[in-house]
Structure 1
Amino acid sequence: MRVSVVVPNYNKERTLHDCLSAVYAQTTPPAEVIVVDDASTDRSRRIAAGFPCTVLAFPVNRGVSAARNAGAARATGDVLFFVDSDIALAPGALAAAVRTLEAYPDCGVVQGIYDLRPLYDDGPVEAYKTLFEHFWRRRATGVTATTMFALTAVPKTVFDLVGGFDERLRDAEDVEFGTRLPARYEIRMSDEMVGRHDDVDQLWPYLSELFRRAVTYAGAVAAARWERPAAGPQAPDRTPHRVDLGSVVGMVGSGLAVGTAPLVLVSPWLAALPAGLLAAVVVADRELLAFALRHRGPRFLLYAAGLRWLTHLTEFVGMGLGVCGALLRRVRAVRSRPVAVGSRR
């Protein structure tokens, strides 16, 4: 299989050199490397020019969906390997992707995991985010239900069949892609495809990103469950995402704990309700917290528990708004449908 590597980039001068160096150091060399620069204002284009890759430069910023689509349209390989420009692949990542696609002919998407170590260690927020992403992705190894395109390989025929990314989306576009993947294709997570990620390292940008993705993700998944696709090659029965009971308990428990906290003003005994809800959140996250304790120690465990609670709370609000927005759009769509002739009495 000929592999075309597509690297969407926007203002990643800090990591782009490491990203491309890792791509060209693969044990299975790519057939071509296409960097799509999304109107960067830093040194990104000069850095990319130092490598033997094709550089597509957008005159205006169009978002990661448009960047990936442009790279895929230019690619000539049998397999599209998408890697974000803030990730440095382990040397065997491309070879692992090819092995997986050859071993499982029904596999339409194979995606990798983040290394436990960030590309650059910039503090506790990034340490938590990297640890969580590594834990969550490794636990999902094998057949999974959600697509993520930070480091992901797709046969070009499958990508073209799905129709690429929705260029209206700048968050959760990779998840939405999976909702249109025909059900006959498997989505696989491979722990042999590894990359070191330079993740967000400040609290407010982390929570803001999380909130935006939660709103978009909830809307996309809700719409995918409610709406049947138009007739065509895509199967209408793909479940876009399995319900993760632990995540649901964490989000709902965190949200209700905040909502019931004022009951303490009515009676001190009612403090047992939010305390019990927080205890349920800890139980739901016990595997992740134990993982944090093993790898980072007791002090980091306390930090991770607090940040995990903030994460749940942010997702609870974002998911709620996303589902409400999807429901409102559905109601409006139903009301705007023309009444069939003869249906009125």
Structure 2
Amino acid sequence: MAAPLVSVVVPLYNDRRTVDLCLRSVLEQTYRKLEVIVVDDASADDSAELAGRHPVTLVRAERNGGPGATRNLGVQNARGEIIFFLDADLTLHPEAVAQAVELFEENPEYGAVFGIPDKEPLFDDGPVCDYRILQYHYWRKSAEGLVSGGFYALGAVRRSAFLEAGWFNSALRQTEEIDHAERLAARFPLLLTSRVRGRLSDESRMRPLLRKAFVRGRLRVPFYLDRGRAMQGMETGGRAAASVLAALTLLTLPSVLVWPAAAPVPVLALLACVLADLGQYLFVARERGPAFLVFFTGCHLLVSTAVVAGLATGLAQWSFSGRFRRMYRTGVPA
């Protein structure tokens, strides 16, 4: 059986810091039957020019359309039987594409295989970045197996399966992945696997990380309420409870200053929060030691509280906005 052509689709938006590393990692893959399509989403920096210095097909969007529209444009220009999506702030391990092809050969029923980033960041960008990368890695590693959520920053999809599920909804800017993966998972098994690996650069400052957590939490509300459940894999009941307990910890902590007798409330809430996702904290303690674990826990309390605030805001918006309730109901045919 002839080896399939793999189209590596790289969405690009103001990624001048990482684009060379990203494309070099693609061009150094052990699997050689591939084409590389870089889609510039109207970048304001010179990242498209840097990408154009590599042997790739460079497609330029006329205006900024977001990740969904950019990935759609990449697929439209791709010829491969397998579409390998790779965000420009990621690099691939040399065997990543080969492993994805092997997994499809071993499991012809799979619609997609999604990879897991390393526990080390692409750059040494400080403790907030380390927190994010460790948390990102652990949650995905702990969910390894069949999932209903998609991680299109690092993952391969059969072209036929992608077209059957339909295009990314370009109206969605933060949650286009969960929407597309839900349609894909309704038709095909999706695998999350550490056989496909990469290294990620992520947020190094807390403020944009909290904003992202809040927005994604808010935009997930109509998705969850339409389906009556969370995504299979990372989003467990224990982690949902841990997020609520994290918010309770931070909300009740100031009361201790005016009423010291209330001290057991935030302490018990924090303890329950940690126990609800204990494996994560044990993993961080093994990797980085107790001092960093304290910092990690503080960061995670803040991020979890931002998620809960986003969900609460989303519930309020869902109650009075019909447009918000219907945001995931628009069909996106192939």
- TM-score past 0.5 threshold: yes
Equivalent of residue 60 in structure 1, options 60, 63, 67 = 63
Query: Do the aligned partners of residues 332 and 42 (structure 1) sit closer, same or farther apart at CA in structure 2, a change above 3 Å counting?
Result: closer
SS of aligned partner of 1:29 = coil
Equivalent of residue 141 in structure 1, options 137, 140, 144 = 144
5+ residue gaps in structure 1?
227-238, 335-345
1:275 partner amino acid:
V
1:286 partner amino acid:
L
Query: Do the aligned partners of residues 308 and 73 (structure 1) sit closer, same or farther apart at CA in structure 2, a change above 3 Å counting?
Result: same
1:203 paired with 2:206, answer yes
Task: Note the aligned Cα RMSD (angstroms).
Answer: 2.1
- Does the 8 Å contact 1:112/1:151 carry over to 2? yes
Equivalent of residue 175 in structure 1, options 175, 178, 191 = 178
- Does the 8 Å contact 2:165/2:187 carry over to 1? no
Equivalent of residue 120 in structure 1, options 100, 103, 123 = 123
Counterpart for residue 16 of structure 1? 19
Q: Aligned-pair distance for 1:272? A: 2.1
- Does the 8 Å contact 1:35/1:56 carry over to 2? yes
Partner Cα separation in structure 1 for residue 261 and residue 35 of structure 2: 66
1:313 paired with 2:305, answer yes
Equivalent of residue 280 in structure 1, options 268, 272, 291 = 272
Equivalent of residue 293 in structure 2, options 291, 296, 301 = 301
- Does the 8 Å contact 2:147/2:231 carry over to 1? no
Query: Do the aligned partners of residues 109 and 280 (structure 1) sit closer, same or farther apart at CA in structure 2, a change above 3 Å counting?
Result: same
Per mean C-alpha deviation after superposition, the further-off stretch among 138-147 and 10-19 is: 138-147
5+ residue gaps in structure 2?
327-334
Counterpart for residue 332 of structure 2? none
Equivalent of residue 73 in structure 2, options 70, 73, 97 = 70
Partner Cα separation in structure 2 for residue 27 and residue 204 of structure 1: 39
TM-score normalized by the length of structure 1: 0.87
SS of aligned partner of 1:201 = coil
Counterpart for residue 32 of structure 2? 29
SS of aligned partner of 2:224 = helix
What whole-Å deviation, never above 9, does each CA across 1:187-235 have from its counterpart, x for those lacking one? Answer: 1111011111111111111111121122222332323439xxxxxxxxx
Q: How many residues align?
A: 322
- Does the 8 Å contact 1:222/1:326 carry over to 2? no
1:125 partner amino acid:
V
Partner Cα separation in structure 2 for residue 93 and residue 286 of structure 1: 30
Per mean C-alpha deviation after superposition, the further-off stretch among 316-325 and 170-179 is: 316-325
1:255 paired with 2:247, answer yes
Partner Cα separation in structure 2 for residue 265 and residue 198 of structure 1: 39
SS of aligned partner of 1:107 = coil
Q: Over alpha carbons, which structure has the higher Rg?
A: 1
What whole-Å deviation, never above 9, does each CA across 1:222-276 have from its counterpart, x for those lacking one? Answer: 23439xxxxxxxxxxxx74465122112111122334445665885433322321
1:256 partner amino acid:
L
Partner Cα separation in structure 1 for residue 236 and residue 36 of structure 2: 36
What whole-Å deviation, never above 9, does each CA across 1:272-308 have from its counterpart, x for those lacking one? Answer: 2232111101212321111111111121111001111
Counterpart for residue 91 of structure 1? 94
- Does the 8 Å contact 1:5/1:30 carry over to 2? no
Per mean C-alpha deviation after superposition, the further-off stretch among 180-189 and 164-173 is: 180-189
Counterpart for residue 235 of structure 1? none
- Does the 8 Å contact 1:223/1:326 carry over to 2? no
Partner Cα separation in structure 2 for residue 93 and residue 262 of structure 1: 48
Query: Do the aligned partners of residues 83 and 333 (structure 1) sit closer, same or farther apart at CA in structure 2, a change above 3 Å counting?
Result: closer
Partner Cα separation in structure 2 for residue 112 and residue 286 of structure 1: 24
SS of aligned partner of 1:61 = coil
Equivalent of residue 269 in structure 1, options 250, 261, 284 = 261
Query: Do the aligned partners of residues 250 and 158 (structure 1) sit closer, same or farther apart at CA in structure 2, a change above 3 Å counting?
Result: same
Amino-acid identity (%): 36
2:317 partner amino acid:
G
Query: Do the aligned partners of residues 251 and 100 (structure 1) sit closer, same or farther apart at CA in structure 2, a change above 3 Å counting?
Result: same
Counterpart for residue 330 of structure 2? none
Query: Do the aligned partners of residues 324 and 29 (structure 1) sit closer, same or farther apart at CA in structure 2, a change above 3 Å counting?
Result: farther
TM-score normalized by the length of structure 2: 0.90
Partner Cα separation in structure 2 for residue 129 and residue 264 of structure 1: 29
Q: Aligned-pair distance for 1:321? A: 1.9
- Does the 8 Å contact 1:225/1:240 carry over to 2? no
